[in-house]
Structure 1
Amino acid sequence: MHDLLMDEYSKLWDIVLDGPFIQTFEVKDGEITRVIPKTRQQYSEVDRKKIEKFYKAKKLLVCGIGAGEFNRISACELAKEIWDYLKTAHAGTKQVKESEIDMFTSQYENLK
């Protein structure tokens, strides 16, 4: 049972990090192959299960935040967008981190 839950959480985390699975099909026109998104009527049962996981991943992220942050992420449609926002809001961007490292290094050197 524990392994099944870990597998489920791992798949949900992949959706958060990689973005959603987009249901598509290929159309060949001579040598050119185009990838076209499926309509809802064209979804298979497998497609529907993947979409369900996408919504579950998004729901888990949304349920884990407070009302103030919910207002800030409510326009996000993808779990990945929510995660990227939360990651930036709580850890800062790469530039912010580099700036903080420079600041702390400077403070350390001044203490010496």
Structure 2
Amino acid sequence: MCLEAIDPEYLNMIYDGPYRPMKLAVVVVGQEENMIDKENKDYFPEDLSSIIKDAKVRHILHSSLDNVMSNRIIGCKTAKEIWNTFEVKYLGTTAIKKNRRTILNQEYEHFGSKSNESLTEIYDRF
């Protein structure tokens, strides 16, 4: 998928995660302030706009998938969760990336010709 095709405003939903409308909870003397989720009736137009953006990004990501990958992300509730699932599936975790580099280095260091290969075939394989 080409991320350049997605509006930069929507990319924030992928990288920063979903927007959750929050409000300040009632503060009791002696307790610290904390934030709680807003109820639907308390949403401002900006809140609704951000929620709609997340839904659009989820739709874009869902639309670009084949059936196999769709089954993997069916339980994801936000665009951020879908994106993280993509990253693990196609790029792997940090440990997997490190193992891939190690294997590729070993293959490079032990590169050699096979018995019935021509120089062109060796070069192409290299």
- Where does the alignment leave 5 or more consecutive residues of structure 2 unmatched? 113-126
Q: CA deviation at 1:9?
A: 1.1
Match of 1:25 among 18, 23, 43: 23
Q: CA deviation at 1:53?
A: 0.5
2:70 maps to: 70
Residue-by-residue CA offset, 1:17-62 (whole Å, 9 max, x unaligned): 1111110111332352120110111111111111100101111111
Give the distance between the partners of 1:47 and 1:29, measured in 2 at CA.
Answer: 27
The answer to whether residue 95 in structure 2 is matched with residue 95 in structure 1 is: yes
Paired amino acid for 2:21: Q
Give the distance between the partners of 2:8 and 2:29, measured in 1 at CA.
Answer: 40
The answer to whether residue 82 in structure 2 is matched with residue 86 in structure 1 is: no
Q: How does 1:1-40 map to 2 (within 5 A)?
A: 9-27=7-25, 28-30=27-29, 32-40=32-40
Paired amino acid for 1:65: L
Higher helix share: 1
Q: CA RMSD in A?
A: 1.7
Q: Which has the larger radius of gyration?
A: 2
Give the distance between the partners of 1:71 and 1:104, measured in 2 at CA.
Answer: 31
TM-score, structure 1 as length reference: 0.87
Structure with greater contact order relative to length (CA < 8 Å, sep ≥ 6): 1
- Where does the alignment leave 5 or more consecutive residues of structure 1 unmatched? 1-5
2:123 maps to: none
Higher strand share: 1
Deviating above 4 A after TM superposition, structure 1's stretches of 4 or more consecutive aligned residues are none
Report the secondary structure of 2:35's partner residue. Answer: strand
Report the secondary structure of 2:20's partner residue. Answer: coil
